[in-house]
Structure 1
Amino acid sequence: MNNKCLLKKTLLATTIAFASQHAAAAGFQLVEHSATGLGRAFAGEGAIADNAAVGARNPAAMAMFDRAAFSGGLTYINPSVDAEVHGATYGDTGKAKDIAPDAWVPNMHYIHPINEQFAVGTSVFSNFGLSTEYPKNVGSLGGGNTDLMTVNWAVNGSYRINEQFSVGAGLNVLYADAELNRYIPPKVPGIGGRRAIKMEGDGYGYGWNVGAIWEIDQNNRIALTYRSSIDTTLEGKGDFLGEGLTNTSAELDIEFPDLWELSGYHRVAPKWAVSYSVLRTGWSSFKELKATSSSCKVGNGVCFEKEENWKDAWRYSAGVTHYLNNQWTLRAGVAIDHSPVKRDDRTLSIPDSDRFWYSIGATYAIQENMTIDAGFAYLDGDQKKGQEVESTGFGNVEYEFEAGGDAYIFGMQFSYWF
């Protein structure tokens, strides 16, 4: 069996698609860095600066703080995603229920003003991740199980130019850890049911971000931010059935996309404010996924590779904030998150679709310098049909399928001003 052919589509589908089906944002992106933002569908995140969590979105907004601030929170993601394979060359059809496990996503942020012009801060959160678990006998070459976890550590600084304009910049260190398993369809003679691929590894990547904020007046501000793409090489061990290799060293390269965001905040009445964001994620930079090892002889060192046709994706959000009284602040928001996967490129492992967000949230001020936030969002995703062909050493394996689902996101956060 030609291992390079066997893995031509399978592995990308596992390393990437696990999240593309079930990550909170389209593609395999996570945006859950703040329970406060969750309550308004993350509308206006770069411009509002409710608490220290803004440092993860716009370093320039740290200039708005006149005292040190801390925020820490935890988000719970509960996906409800099902898949069904209607047709398969080797009969590995059937239903796969709840293929996306629940996930907990923590975050932590700190901002420290140095003087009236300079501030520094740090944030720890996750940009990308989640996982899928399929039964071994359903869509075996496109199913299996996959886990991808990332942690982003950002160190930022800001500078206030004058009363209206501030800028900021920072460095990002991203740690990624991935594991995947893929299986031969049970009815393939001689090797059915065996594991075709196992790979696990981790690695670091480095990037940067910049931001600017225009404080038009005390009730209106607009922000623009950019976060660079990050190239990451995961180094680890792999088993490749087609090569007859077990526990061999291998590398997997992933380029995480860049992000542009325009956001705004406008207090239109003493107790009411509106916010909005336009976020572009540069998924078009995700050109291929390739695993290499000097032990893989069939592919001249390439254990598998797959070209992708993803496109840049846009997310639009709008929110409203109601300042009820000195203790309570209420929020709501909506968003549409466009998929980076083109219709003709949708596969069993990547049945990505547009997502619609509906969010509510609230802040309770325990005292003047201490608050607790709670947020909830319902993500509505469509069921999508698709068809794909896996080229393998034992012939083409074709799948016809339908997959998709919804998700529920809950967030809690504690904030303190020193």
Structure 2
Amino acid sequence: MHTASKIARITALAVGIAGALAWGQADAAAFQLKENSAKGLGRAFAGSTSAWGDASVVATNPASMRLLDGRQFQADVSAISFSAKMQDGYSGRFAGPGGAGTGMPIQGGNGGDAGMIAPVPATYFHMPFGENDNMHFGMSLTAPFGFKTEYDRTWVGRYHGVKTDLKAVDLGAAFSYDVNPYVSFGVSVFYEHLAIELSNAVDFGAVAYGATNGASAALGLYPGSADGFATIEGKNNAWGYVLGATFSVTEDTNIALSYRSKVKHKIDDGKATFDVPGNVATALQTQARGIFVNTGGKAELTLPASATLSLTHRVNDRWTVMGDLSRTAWAPSFDQVVVDFASNQPDNVLVFGYDDTTFASIGAEYKLSDTITLRGGVAYDQTPTTDAHRDVRVPDVSRRWLSFGLGWTPSEKTEFDFGYTHLFTNAPSINITSATGSTLKGSYDVRGDVLGASINYKF
């Protein structure tokens, strides 16, 4: 019973699932994506749901469709350049299960640059209707969450994570009603597709060593002697909604409030696959039947709710200033997640310890001419991670934004917008120990830049 209990404790985490649902994002807190508008990007998303003329409000605050001029289609794409390199004297050692082991350094490099350059597309359609066009219909296709990191398979932190890939795509339909020219209410319903893939190395030498109380050393199995690999995949579709209200306290001032619901994904058809060295399988076949076998699984994952207050004020014919304040409720969603395996592998409660976060920005637009608009903004974006819970899948840190943008309107029907943001970050630290006893310490050099472009066509 003691050996079985030890196997259960080791295998529940050694497959890397303890980091399986932890993603990072270079340009928004954790794996949340704000990049749904090149126009908004150029002013650090200040006035994101209260500014005139940005069709992204179809997805973020349908009540603000009143601020759009007629029937239109908008297409955006943002290129996110995210770099994450471990540095600063990182080290890893085999402590062994229960503190026993070889004490030798783990062999491997620093993993290379785990980041990537990724496109984030978005499209919007808006159509007013009803008496005096006081009702609005819209459709949107956006990516509100997403992230990917990938290290070298033989890097020193391979037992903590190798690949993390998450994609969430929303297809939404929106409706709003203008009570009068100053007050509007709106709602959007969206269908969200979530797909995840996660992998890491498994120190099966340490698993065998701990399961046999060191007897496996006679077979050449000890910590660091026999690496395997684990991959977890899952997908799910679920519904969510957005509620919004927009108030124009004067002809030149808009105040917008919006709430995006949490989305609960029940992954029932997950898949876990294991590459187990043959000598390990033989050594463990009596102590761990049904463990480390390819199997199905399920988990319930809730993407967080968020609320935004947005303000835009037109100072004169040339200057407009704006600000945003938003809060994301990570804590109730990412306190813990329970993973249920279809095999004999025991269920595992994963504790993430995420904190709620705040995003705040201020920005401005200057109309240089009838066809050219200049934009700029700054923002502070808080991370939900802490030193106690940060790992290689989430080299996340609070960051400061500096943004610039340009708008060009060559005709009454066509508008082109461009935005750029650079992220300023500190070096987040890592100090973690895997279930099989390997430790990893160090810090990250995290960098991020975002470039966005869009076209808006009225018809």
Instruction: Specify if TM > 0.5.
Output: yes
> Within 5 Å, which residues of 2 pair with 1:139-288?
139-185=157-203, 188=206, 189=221, 192=225, 194-234=227-267, 235-240=269-274, 243-285=290-332, 286-288=334-336
Structure 1 CA distance for aligned equivalents of residues 261 and 434 of structure 2: 33
Instruction: Give the deviation of 1:293 after TM superposition.
Output: 2.5
* Structure 2 partner of 1:73: 76
1:119 aligns with 2:136: yes
1:413: how far off? Answer: 0.5
Change (3 A) 1:49 1:269: closer
**RMSD of equivalent CA atoms:** 2.1
Q: Deviations over 1:194-243 (max 9, x none)?
A: 33421112111211110001112221111010000001123332125675
2:115 maps to 100
- Structure 1, unmatched stretches of 5+, are none
Contact 2:295 2:342 in 1 (8 A): no
SS of equivalent residue, structure 1 residue 46: coil
Structure 1 residues 327 and 81: CA distance shift in structure 2, 3 A: same
Measure how far apart 1:161 and its partner are: 1.0
Looking at structure 1, the residues matched to 253 and 226 of structure 2 have their Cα atoms a distance apart, in angstroms, of: 61
Q: What is residue 387 of structure 1 aligned with on the other side?
A: 431
**1:292 aligned to 2:340?**
yes
| Paired AA for residue 43 in structure 2 | R
- Check if 1:414 corresponds to 2:455: yes
Q: Give the Å deviation of 1:155.
A: 1.1
Deviation, structure 1 residue 192: 4.3
Name 2:22's counterpart in structure 1.
16
Displacement of 1:51: 2.7
Partner-residue secondary structure (3-state), 1:184 = strand
- CA deviation after TM superposition for structure 1 residue 279, in Å: 0.9
Report the Cα distance in structure 1 between the residues aligned to 2:441 and 2:454, rounded to whole angstroms: 43
After superposition, the Cα gap between the structure-2 partners of 1:170 and 1:193, relative to the gap in structure 1 and judged at 3 Å, is farther
Q: TM-score, normalised by structure 2?
A: 0.84
Deviation string 1:124-168 (CA, Å, 9 cap, x unpaired) is: 110111111112232112121111111011211101111211010
2:401 to 348, 357, 378: 357
What per-residue deviation string (whole Å, max 9, x for no partner) do you get for residues 388-416 of structure 1? 12223xxx322212124111111110101
CA contact (8 A) 2:400 2:424 kept: yes
CA apart distance, 1:49: 3.3
Asked if structure 1 preserves the Cα contact closer than 8 Å seen for 2:11 and 2:292, the reply is: no
Cα distance between partner residues in 2 of 1:196 and 1:382: 32
Q: How many Å separate the matches in 1 of 2:12 and 2:53?
A: 47
Counterpart-to-counterpart distance in 1, 2:296 and 2:345: 16
Normalised to the residue count of structure 1, the TM-score between the two structures is: 0.92
Counterpart amino acid of 1:216?
V
Match of 1:61 among 59, 64, 69: 64
Match for residue 146 of structure 2 among 129, 139, 150: 129
Q: Distance in 2 between matches of 1:66 and 1:363?
A: 16
Partners of 2:226 and 2:184 lie apart in 1 by 59
AA in 2 matched with 1:54: V
Contact 1:33 1:56 in 2 (8 A): no
**Count of matched residue pairs:** 408
Between stretches 43-52 and 232-241, larger displacement belongs to 232-241
Question: Is this contact kept in 2: 1:33–1:107, CA < 8 A?
Answer: yes
Check the 8 A contact 2:205/2:227 in 1, yes or no: no
Larger radius of gyration: 2
**CA distance in 2 between partners of 1:330 and 1:175 (Å):** 36
